[in-house]
Amino acid sequence: MSSNHNSRRQFLKSSSVVAAGVSMPYFFSAKPGMAFATESKNDRVPIGLIGAGGMGCGNMRAASQWVDVVAIADADQNRQQSANKQLSGGKADIYDDYRKILERDDIKVVHIATPDHWHTKPVIEAMLAGKDIYCEKPLTLTVDEGKLIRRVQEETGRVVQVGTQQRSTFNLFTKAIALVKQGRVGKIKRMSAAIGGAPASPGIPVVDVPKGLDWDRWLGPAPAAQYRWAEKKNKKKWQRDPTNGHYEFRWWYEYSGGKLTDWGAHHVDIAAWALEANGQSNAVVSIDGNAKHPVEYKNGVPQQTDRYNTATSFNFTVKFAGGAELVIRNDTDNGVLIEGDKGRIFVNRKKLVGKPVEDLATNPLPEDAVKEVYKGFDLIEGERKGHWANFLKCVDERKEPISDVHSHMRMLNICHLTGIAARLGRGIKWDDKTEQIVGDSAANSMLKRKYREGYEIEMNSAKPAAVKS
């Protein structure tokens, strides 16, 4: 362990806590007999990274004070090499097939940051192989995949944190939820989640697959497709070339849900959490609205295959059983607006504003109000870093993390159902008990997807835990 690095426990002990907007020194009550890695002289967590792209590497840097990346799997050998160099000084074992990581006994924790279409399968297989998992959002591409993940998580008892790190931003989103729970906005009537729209692209030509990228493996469970890429002319520094591969997979419904799941997973999560914290139902009753796509859709399927196909603009109203409404839209300032019968607040990654926030000067939140909505966990500063700290603590203490599978799937279903309504061009009604769309067999068929042959989920993994397959 590098002497420049605090050990995980040291960091957790010496970090500051944020409560009701005030930073103060805090000391963890480290419990004796923590289940994981605490008896070791070196209490750093060996981790297997599956998907070493932008977010996978970014997360490993965020957690670098506590974890050692000992194995890396990626479908692109260029990314295996560069991640190995930057994250572990070239010392990690590298693999084309992530299942090699799942077979290793010395790795008990994995981070999955593959494209969205490649989440459910490794998450299930990792749970069955006895691993704890931090998986990037959105956890699934479909409602039915969520049901399977929920079941296997319950049966295996693995710790699964989803990468919706807004839940670990204590002075912003977490505090907004605390304000709601303390009754400062009253009964929630209406909310809005503004999440931006997907970009459109020109037709992107089929080209040779770049050296080192295993395109068949990258596609995995998704339908067979040719690799597309074009050099973007006059691009600004931050802009990427259009492709159906790295990063830009977000704008193809075959691999993602577009903005509805990419950013919906963040902001719809806050809206659903607000209802739950306020004791109001977040069971969906109906979803209605409109969307524009850059290509024509017929029966929910895009009719052109050479360009981005997820919605560029949309405005949907989600009605909940308790009477509240949520508008999911692309056309206004990114963030979440929560309006109740006593007040309204707006929150995004930069600010938390509204009269209930101003009133804190004279009427502060109770001392532990933020911690209370954070499931009573200690608050470790630093968004992604705090989210990782929460995960690692839950691994130690065998607890359910702040972004757990159940709350995640509850809100992700809202995003998936909105995506189905967008692609079909009609509203839907939802039966929350049976988890079925009412009276619409075409829409119900979109609650699941067909896995490409050879990439089905392996329910009989090498080391099955207590799961009946």
Ligand X SMILES: NC(=O)c1ccc[n+]([C@@H]2O[C@H](COP(=O)([O-])OP(=O)(O)OC[C@H]3O[C@@H](n4cnc5c(N)ncnc54)[C@H](O)[C@@H]3O)[C@@H](O)[C@H]2O)c1
In the complex, which residues of this chain contact ligand X (CB under 6 A)?
50-56, 73-76, 79, 98, 113-116, 118, 136-137, 163, 165, 217-218, 220, 246-247, 262
Pick between residue 50 and residue 60 the one whose CB is nearest to ligand X.
Answer: 50
For the CB of residue 258, give the shortest distance to ligand X in the complex, in Å: 11
Q: How far is CA 236 from CA 47, 249, 308, in A?
A: 35, 20, 20
Pick between residue 31 and residue 349 the one whose CB is nearest to ligand X.
Answer: 349
Question: What number of CA atoms fall less than 13 Å from residue 344's CA on the CB side?
Answer: 9
Pick between residue 162 and residue 180 the one whose CB is nearest to ligand X.
Answer: 162
For the CB of residue 89, give the shortest distance to ligand X in the complex, in Å: 20
Please give the torsion angle defined by the CA atoms of residues 244, 266, 133 and 59, in that order, rounded to the nearest 10 degrees: 70
Pick between residue 197 and residue 356 the one whose CB is nearest to ligand X.
Answer: 197
For the CB of residue 387, give the shortest distance to ligand X in the complex, in Å: 9
Pick between residue 119 and residue 184 the one whose CB is nearest to ligand X.
Answer: 119
Pick between residue 118 and residue 252 the one whose CB is nearest to ligand X.
Answer: 118
For the CB of residue 79, give the shortest distance to ligand X in the complex, in Å: 4
Pick between residue 122 and residue 340 the one whose CB is nearest to ligand X.
Answer: 122
In 3-state terms, what secondary structure has residue 19? strand
For the CB of residue 325, give the shortest distance to ligand X in the complex, in Å: 26
For the CB of residue 149, give the shortest distance to ligand X in the complex, in Å: 14
Q: Determine the residue with CB nearest ligand X.
A: 53
Question: Which residues does 344 contact at the CB level (< 8 Å), separation at least 6?
Answer: 185, 337, 338, 354, 355, 356
CA distance 181 to 276: 9
CA distance 433 to 26: 43
DSSP 36-59: SS-SSSS-PEEEEEE--SHHHHHH
For the CB of residue 169, give the shortest distance to ligand X in the complex, in Å: 11
Question: 143-156 and 120-128 helices cross at what angle (nearest 10)?
Answer: 10
Pick between residue 376 and residue 453 the one whose CB is nearest to ligand X.
Answer: 453
In 3-state terms, what secondary structure has residue 7? coil
For the CB of residue 386, give the shortest distance to ligand X in the complex, in Å: 13
CA distance 445 to 290: 20
Residues 405, 139 contacting (CB under 8 angstroms) = yes
For the CB of residue 191, give the shortest distance to ligand X in the complex, in Å: 21
Q: Which amino acid is at 292?
A: K
- Helix-then-strand count for the chain, H and E: 15, 19
Closest to 386 in 3D by CA, of 224, 225, 178, 165: 165
Q: Which amino acid is at 34?
A: M
Pick between residue 21 and residue 210 the one whose CB is nearest to ligand X.
Answer: 210
